[in-house]
Chain A
Amino acid sequence: MNSFKILSDDEKNLVKELINSLLQNNEFESLLEQFQLLKIEHHRIEVYLVPLEFIPLINLIKIHLKDNQIIQIGGKLGFFINERFFIGIESLSYLTPLTDRKLILNSQETTKFLYGESFAVADQDKSISYLNSPIIICSDQHIPIGIGILKLKEKICFLKNLVDVGIYLRSEKSAFRIGK
């Protein structure tokens, strides 16, 4: 059964907590004025940001279809595994404009990040203030490309890749499969 459902209060709190800690602000609340959070169960419970104008239509669609036929609605925000919420890579296009706390890489660094390498970042001054908690990483074109974490090693800031847009190629069949 993977019919879409509204998130419980506890689930909503878990989502907000993690996103607020990534953004280091409460701006996510403003996004929720335009979207509803819905979940759909596939091999994991996926959480979607659904534009409010979609709601009457999907309620009509729901009447006509079986529970397992609605696969995806709007943009994916993330997913739950064992009651723990993980931010999905697709959500970064929604979240990045809500925060100044992001690291913009140069062209060479963008390539290294997308190859999953850890490396010493060029902008050491800015990076030092973002240490030890996940941060949105943007390409030289200012397009969000993943989430990383900055660690200090012998007084130099290193960026470690946590997740990146390469998932669209590497994990197409696993991350985007449907059913259990």
Chain B
Amino acid sequence: MIYILLSDSFLPYIPRWREFYGFKRTESIIQNLKTKDKRYITPNTLKISSNQLFSLIEKRGFILQHTKVFDAFLIKKAPYNIVSTPEYLTGLFSIHVLTSIIPPFSLELQKNDLVIDMAAAPGIKTSLLAQKLRNRGIIIAIEKSKARIPALRANISRLGVKNTIILFLDSMKLSFNDIMADHILLDAPCSGTGLKVEKNKRSSPRKMRDILRNTIIQKRLLEVGWNHLKPRGTLVYSTCSLEPEEGEIQIHNFLNRHTDEVEVLPISFDIGIAGNQTNWKFPLNSQLSKTKRIFPDSGIDGFFVALLRKVGQ
């Protein structure tokens, strides 16, 4: 009964989710995918502290609640659209799902690092990288969609990001053989099955073959990113998909292709479960225990994230 409340495009996935995550977890996924997403804001620490932001926004009649895992606030009551506030226009905060925070904040950045963001629009994760770098170092923000570049440019301008080079480029074709990054952020294109139904803006329903197509793109992006990573550098890989082929299995296969070259590092956020707990046809690489499988919840999309360090030569 509950399934008819979901978009039709999700129906083929439900038996799969039961297989991977169990019956009870799948029921919870379905419940959460159809809930209305709540709005969260995070302070732009290039301009303001968390406490200052809280005080300013509450003075305008908004009621905020600090979240447990992230430095972010849930908007509990909004007298009007928060985008209309001077604080938003002056770039004191950004609005996004909480899972966006995990990939950029999983990287241990030093002030002069070179970071490549391989799929940068709309720029929220890029701006979080800039905050971690305190606007130092250099971020190469790559976006292949011409239509999405204005949003990327507007967001990083509004948020006061100054350490960025924006490139209009398909990251799959990246071949800077003389440019190696300290860190790579790859929030890869995916089927988006972890997104709340209300955010499902696709014109055509997702099909099973989309997963296969996406895994090919993700594999290529992972290899290109890895080739542009310095020894000892780190690559954070994430998708907003609930499909293991786009998460756990993608990383399992990557580890098999790069035996002895990769150390999987733990994700410091206390959220989700270890990636190796997902049921699959064969046992997953033990290093998957340090990745995170995150299920949809309030302010949180279904998500997978892995942090990989290049070891050896």
- Give the B-binding residues of A (Cβ under 8 A): 51, 53-54, 57-58, 60-61, 64-65, 68-76, 89-90, 93, 110-111, 114, 139, 141, 143, 145, 164-166, 168-169, 172-173, 175-179
Say yes or no: A178 contacts B138, CB within 8 Å.
Answer: no
Which A-B residue pairs are the 7 nearest by beta carbons? A176-B150, A176-B153, A168-B158, A72-B166, A71-B166, A75-B162, A172-B154
Whole-angstrom distance between the alpha carbons of A81 and B162 in the complex?
23
Number of A-B residue pairs, CB cutoff 8 Å, is: 101
Contacts of A169 in B (CB 8 A): 83, 89, 154
| Complex alpha-carbon distance, A143 and B88, angstroms | 12
**CB within 8 Å for A69 and B167 given contacts A74-B162, A176-B154:** yes
Q: Jot down 18 A-B pairs with beta carbons below 8 A, ordered by A.
A: A51-B162, A61-B167, A65-B169, A69-B169, A70-B167, A71-B153, A71-B167, A114-B86, A141-B56, A141-B90, A143-B47, A143-B90, A165-B158, A168-B89, A168-B155, A175-B150, A176-B151, A177-B149
Report Cα–Cα, A165/B158, bound state, in Å.
Answer: 7
Contact of B179 among A60, A90, A172, A175 (CB under 8 A): A60
> Are A58's CB and B165's CB within 8 A?
yes
Q: DSSP class of B's interface residues: helix, strand, loop or mixed?
A: mixed
Bound together, the chains give a CA A112 to CA B159 distance in angstroms of 21
Whole-angstrom CA separation of A143 from B92 in the bound complex:
10
Give the interface centre of B86, B165, B178 by most chain A CB atoms within 10 Å.
B86
Residues of B within 8 A of A110 (CB): 86
Q: Let me know if A61 and B165 touch, CB within 8 A.
A: yes
Known: A74-B162, A141-B90, A165-B90. A176 touches B157 (CB 8 A): yes
Measured between beta carbons, the chain B residues less than 8 angstroms from A111 are 86
Are B169 and A177 neighbours in the complex by a CB distance under 8 Å? no
